Amino acid sequence: MNIFDRFRKKSDHKMTADPHDPDLMPAPVDLAGFMRRGWAYHSRGKEPQAEADFRKAIEIAPDSVDAHYVLGLVFKAQGKKEDAIRSFEKAIELLKAGAITDATRVDMLRRLALGHINELTHGDWNLEKEIWHYKR
């Protein structure tokens, strides 16, 4: 390495592509791929593309709590209130049906989904009753 390399302007260095840029990711072929790229789109505010990927994930795995939950987040970000509520309710329904067996994860996802539903319908997460008085 030349001693002067460290003084070179950043613009002189080759720019490397962002490996998390959803537009540069390989086309997904499975649930994990659609979920990964959907999250990348969602994190960049590209909600229509995220919605398409999460819908494809649900086609692949209709019982995926995660896919329904995050589709609810995307709908919420798009201002599609009724669609968001339906997605969060579907996630809760799948949790009740035993789609996830880890009790801690079930409680967490259930509370998050209920919080989003409450916020969309009442303007407040209002989970005090859920947190302090919830019984299985």
* pLDDT tens track for 67-87: 999 999 999 999 999 999 999
* Predicted local distance difference test score (pLDDT) of residue 12: 47
- The Cα–Cα gap between 42 and 103 comes to 27
Give domain 27-133's CATH number out of 3.30.470.30, 3.40.1450.10, 1.25.40.10, 2.60.40.1180.
1.25.40.10
* Predicted local distance difference test score (pLDDT) of residue 16: 57
* Predicted local distance difference test score (pLDDT) of residue 20: 83
pTM (global) more than 0.75? yes
Residue whose C-alpha is closest to residue 73's, from 95, 50, 57, 104: 50
- The Cα–Cα gap between 47 and 30 comes to 20
* Predicted local distance difference test score (pLDDT) of residue 126: 84
**Structural domain boundaries of the chain?**
27-133
- Say if CB 28 and CB 50 are below 8 A apart: no
* Predicted local distance difference test score (pLDDT) of residue 39: 97
| Residues in contact with 131: Cβ distance below 8 Å, sequence separation at least 6, in sequence order | 111
Half-sphere exposure of 74 (CA within 13 A, CB side): 25
Which residue stretches of the chain have pLDDT < 50? Answer: 1, 4, 7, 11-15, 136
- How far separated are the first and last CA of the chain, in Å rounded? 63
Phi, psi of 134 (to 5 degrees): -70, 130
- The Cα–Cα gap between 61 and 34 comes to 11
